[in-house]
Amino acid sequence: MLKAVILIGGPQKGTRFRPLSFEVPKPLFPVAGVPMIQHHIEACAQVPGMQEILLIGFYQPDEPLTRFLEAAQQEFNLPIRYLQEFVPLGTGGGLYHFRDQILAGGPEAFFVLNADVCSDFPLSAMLDAYRHQPHPFLLLGTTANRTQSLNYGCIVENPQTHEVLHYVEKPSTFVSDVINCGIYLFSPEALKPLRDVFQRNQQDGQLEDSSGLWPGAGTIRLEQDVFSALAGQGQIYVHLTDGIWSQIKSAGSALYASRLYLGQYQLTHPERLAKHAPGGPRIRGNVYIHPTAKVAPSAVLGPNVSIGEGVTVGEGVRLRESIVLHGATLQEHTCVLHTIVGWGSTVGRWSRVEGTPNDPNPNDPRAHVDSESLFKDGKLLPAITILGCRVRIPAEVLILNSIVLPHKELSRSFTNQIIL
């Protein structure tokens, strides 16, 4: 028997995902046509022996989240439950707080997945490695170049046994080109070190607060408090993958993740990819079109395009490397490139909306997307263009490398602007 836990965070996280996270919890943002965490759930549901999937986070269980969970339970025929933290507890605190729920039924092991990663999720291969060599902690790792490795948790492994000898979260100098993917397989014994961290936090808190009710005791950081402390003690191992992987920290990285997932659909969900058909739009590369969308036959779509529910795409539209969300309208002869078009937004006829891609270096197979700040020296850096919810773009204007906050009605062109 197996279980899976997906760590979905909370509204205080994901600030680099704004303004898109204003309208929907970040884990439910559509990537390649489905909510971000549906990719995780699909992968978990395919593992033989999976009995339950738990979501842990600090979001309020509002209508979109509840509706998603109900639909996912029906689709995958698995219990899928949301466990809400009373305060944000870090990447490990929720696992310890809900330990009884995780261990109920006596699972052999449980997967732990961060919601903000894109991957082909080699969970069966991880399970095989765990059963061959059982240990409390198994981490999924991949490689990065020397510069970008500083942005991730770095793993020094024994190349023969794959034991993690040293772990540093976001080091200041180069440590290793093997990085943590944020996807794990834990045995039930893995919760004991979390208990030790909790008890140590309680003791430290009591020294500062004589009431003994220090609220920070439950906050546990898996990476710093557990992995760094236990590395080299024979408890943590790494399973390396050369499959697709990327973090989804910003809107630009969501667009890149959409490209990766659309490419993966060739193997996993070919039925989700649009096909060129007589009388239909011209399809170039991997494109997802929701069945309710209306797309004019003279439109040219792709590559890497995802069109959501109820979207209208007019005659002569050119759409490339973009996500168009629920209910948006692209009027005749618009050109939309490297852009996320928000829910219910309208782009007027003959307008051009374009951003600058933040792709990894194509000449470096170990390169990943940079999750840099939107600003540098007080200036907005070139990035993809984001139109917030229900934005109105008039006819014959240019919007370039800009972020438009929700409910704005523009009257002219903008370049490198945040439009409040």
* SS3 category, 189: helix
CA distance 116 to 113: 9
260: in domain: no
| pLDDT above 80 for 284 | yes
H runs (alpha helix) in 133-250? 191-208, 228-230
Question: Using one digit for the tens of pLDDT, what is the confidence trace for 286-333?
Answer: 999 999 999 999 999 999 999 999 999 999 999 999 999 999 999 999
Contact 220, 92 (CB under 8 A): yes
Closest CA to 323 of 299, 18, 38, 309: 309
Same domain for 324 and 409?
A: yes
End-to-end C-alpha distance for the chain, whole angstroms: 51
Write the CATH number for 50. Answer: 3.90.550.10
Question: Using one digit for the tens of pLDDT, what is the confidence trace for 75-128?
Answer: 999 999 999 998 888 899 999 999 999 999 999 999 999 999 999 999 999 999
Same domain for 214 and 331?
A: no
Full domain range(s) for residue 356 = 274-418
Share of the chain above pLDDT 70, in %: 93
Same domain for 18 and 155?
A: yes
What are the phi and psi torsion angles at 411 (to 5°)? -125, -5
Contact 305, 265 (CB under 8 A): no
State the DSSP code for 185.
Answer: E
pTM of the model: 0.93
CA distance 228 to 267: 37
| pLDDT above 50 for 213 | no
How many residues make up the chain in this entry? 420
CA distance 62 to 156: 41
Same domain for 76 and 184?
A: yes
Average pLDDT, the chain: 90
Question: Using one digit for the tens of pLDDT, what is the confidence trace for 232-241?
Answer: 999 999 999 9
Task: Please say whether the dihedral angle defined by the alpha carbons of residues 190, 194, 196 and 199, taken in this order, is positive or negative.
Answer: negative
164-169 and 153-157 beta bridge pairing: antiparallel
How many domains, the chain? 2
Write the CATH number for 388. Answer: 2.160.10.10
Closest CA to 72 of 49, 47, 43: 43
